[in-house]
Structure 1
Amino acid sequence: MSKPWKSFSEQVGLLSERGLKIDDPDGAERFLSLVSYYRFSGYFRYWQVDAKNGNNRFIEGASFETIQRLYEAEQALVLVCDEVLHPIEVLLRTQFAYHYANRVAAVGGFPRGLGFTQSPNPQAVPVEEHALANLDRSKEAFVRHYRDEIKSGSCYTPEVYARMPIWVAVEALTFGNLSRFIEASGESGVLTDLAESLHVSPRTLPSQVRSFVYLRNRLAHCAKLWNHSVLDVPGLLPNIERRAKRNYRQFSNHSIYKVLVALDDVATKTQVANKWLETKVEPILDSNPILAEGIVNPKKYGEMDSQLLVGQEKNDGQ
């Protein structure tokens, strides 16, 4: 059956009918006009009795304002994540190009796959092909400046970029394809040089960059961080993981928090930020225990402690 259209006021009424406590209906209506009911449902499902099996009633004590505060605290976390993700991405582009040019080739090497270890799977797309696809689609003037009009049918050939320096090429790559370049550059020595310049381990850097790409993509698509189980898990040296768990909080392997610990380590060692986890992330998590639990130990619907969900939050003004 198709879902009927409902006004924002009717959406608030529906939540109220299902047992959600709403102290300020006008405020709830304004909030749903900014954050869609569907997006918000990804959060309030945790307060419903058994939404997966059709029971959309809310548990006793569930409050619209509590869930709204959770959402707003998560948005504050998103902003502080971008504070370090953006400069780290720029830094990685800069340092990779610098060391690749020094170790392998300043100009014309990457289109031919020089310096990259390819997958042993004969069906795998060569590493450089991902980058060439970015360049082929680009309409940037700096790309057109170095792109010769050499085509095979309607497609460019790799020779079209023979004049392009690597430090130009990296500016047109997606962050994900830059991550591919970094991971494939171990045997050439570029990865080692890059890791040394950042004062991090070459063993963990590739997986950390993948996790940064993963987090950046979720932020770019306004996807939920709370109770999200990370697919691209960053590697952490044992001493770094132990220190984070000792100084801050315990966290599960697939948590967003583990990515934040890796981000903090790279940001600290590269001087992108100082004590970012301690001074920017932790105060947000401390202010909202519900957010903190879903960031450090993601759960599925129905798995979170109901006492936490309906309990008083710190600094909630009540």
Structure 2
Amino acid sequence: MGKSWLSYEQQVDLLKKRGLEVRDPDSAVEFLSRVNYYRASGYFRYWQRQPGAGDNRFIEGANFEKVRQLYEAEQALVLVCDEVLHPIEVLLRTRFAHHYAEHVSAIGAFAHGEGFTQPRDPDDELVQEYVLRNLDRSKETFVAHYRDEIKVGNHYSPDAYARMPIWVAVEAFSFGSLSRLIEASAESGVLDSLAGSMSVSRKTLPSQVRSFVYLRNRIAHCAKLWNHSVLDVPGLLPNIATRAKKNYRPFTDHSIYKIFVALDDVATKTGIADSWLAHKVEPILQENRLLAQGIASPAKYGQFARDLLI
């Protein structure tokens, strides 16, 4: 059966018909005019009986205001994430370029894959291909200034970037491409110098950067963080994980909270923020136990603690 268009008022009526308590219909209409019903349904389903089986009726005691408070608390959490994600990304770009120039070459070598450990599988893309794609499609004036018109078919040749310094190129890399370069730079000594300059573990830094990219991408696409099971899990030294669990709260391996712990450690050691987790994240979570549980220990709907929902 096809879906029908519903006005915002009709969307609220549908929720009420399914058993959701709505104390202030006007406020609910205003909320759904800003937050797509489909987006909100990702939260609603935790209060529904069996949404996977098509039973969208709400459990007894479910109310709209609780869902709205959860969503708005999560948005507050998103805002404080950017306070450390953005400066950490800029720092990583800066330090990577500095140490790559120190250990490998200042000019052009990155386009030929110098200083990077290539994948073992011959079917996998070479590391520099990620870089070249970023540079080829860039419309930035600074890229065009250093790019020569040397092409192979419809694409620029690596030789087109023979004059480009790494500290110029790195500003055109996506965060994901930068993460791949960092991970592939161990044998050339770049990773060691990068981690050392940040006072963080060389062993865990690559996976942490991957997780930062993962979190930033979810935030950039306005994706849900609550009850999301993370795919790119950051590595944490045992003492850091133990201290966070003792001082703040327990968390599972695939939780968003584990990324927060890694962010806090990097931000603190690099001087970007002082106790970000304690001063910015925890106050939000302590105000909303429902949000905190889904951030620290994600669960599927039907498996979430009912006493927190009602």
TM-score for the superposition, normalised by structure 1: 0.97
Alpha-carbon distance in 1 for matches of 2:216, 2:282: 19
- For structure 1, which runs of at least 5 residues remain unmatched after alignment? 311-318
Question: Secondary structure of the residue that 1:227 maps to in structure 2?
Answer: coil
Alpha-carbon distance in 2 for matches of 1:90, 1:264: 16
Alpha-carbon distance in 1 for matches of 2:180, 2:301: 34
Note the alpha carbon deviations across 1:275-303, whole angstroms, 9 max, x for none: 10000000000000000000000001111
| Counterpart in the other structure of 1:216 | 216
| Counterpart in the other structure of 2:126 | 126
| Counterpart in the other structure of 1:15 | 15
Alpha-carbon distance in 1 for matches of 2:36, 2:292: 23
| Counterpart in the other structure of 1:293 | 293
Amino acid paired to 2:209: V
| Counterpart in the other structure of 2:85 | 85
Note the alpha carbon deviations across 1:170-190, whole angstroms, 9 max, x for none: 000000000001000000000
Amino acid paired to 1:189: G
Deviation of residue 154 (structure 1)?
1.7
Matches within 5 A, 1:261-280: 261-280=261-280
Deviation of residue 249 (structure 1)?
0.2
Amino acid paired to 1:143: V
| Counterpart in the other structure of 1:313 | none
| Counterpart in the other structure of 1:151 | 151
Matches within 5 A, 1:117-196: 117-196=117-196
Alpha-carbon distance in 1 for matches of 2:135, 2:153: 17
| Counterpart in the other structure of 1:60 | 60
| Counterpart in the other structure of 2:30 | 30
Alpha-carbon distance in 2 for matches of 1:58, 1:163: 63
Amino acid paired to 1:187: E
Amino acid paired to 1:14: L
Alpha-carbon distance in 2 for matches of 1:293, 1:215: 18
| Counterpart in the other structure of 1:200 | 200
Deviation of residue 112 (structure 1)?
1.0
Amino acid paired to 1:128: Q
Q: Would you say 1:114 and 2:120 are equivalent positions?
A: no
Deviation of residue 54 (structure 1)?
1.2
- For structure 2, which runs of at least 5 residues remain unmatched after alignment? none
Deviation of residue 25 (structure 1)?
0.2
Q: CA-atom RMSD, angstroms? A: 0.5
Q: Would you say 1:243 and 2:243 are equivalent positions?
A: yes
Alpha-carbon distance in 2 for matches of 1:275, 1:152: 50
Question: Secondary structure of the residue that 1:187 maps to in structure 2?
Answer: coil
Question: Secondary structure of the residue that 1:229 maps to in structure 2?
Answer: coil
Amino acid paired to 2:97: A
Deviation of residue 261 (structure 1)?
0.2
Matches within 5 A, 1:89-104: 89-104=89-104
Amino acid paired to 2:239: N
Deviation of residue 306 (structure 1)?
1.2
Question: Secondary structure of the residue that 2:235 maps to in structure 1?
Answer: coil
Deviation of residue 79 (structure 1)?
0.2
Amino acid paired to 1:308: L
Amino acid paired to 2:34: L
Q: Percent identity?
A: 68
Deviation of residue 159 (structure 1)?
0.2
Number of aligned residue pairs: give it: 310
Deviation of residue 153 (structure 1)?
2.0
Amino acid paired to 2:13: G
Alpha-carbon distance in 2 for matches of 1:20, 1:307: 17
Alpha-carbon distance in 2 for matches of 1:155, 1:267: 38
Runs of 4+ aligned residues of structure 1 deviating over 4 Å after TM superposition are none
Deviation of residue 215 (structure 1)?
0.2
Stretch deviating more after TM superposition (237-246 or 149-158): 149-158
| Counterpart in the other structure of 1:316 | none
| Counterpart in the other structure of 1:314 | none
Question: Secondary structure of the residue that 1:228 maps to in structure 2?
Answer: coil
Note the alpha carbon deviations across 1:146-197, whole angstroms, 9 max, x for none: 0000012222111000000000000000000000010000000000000000
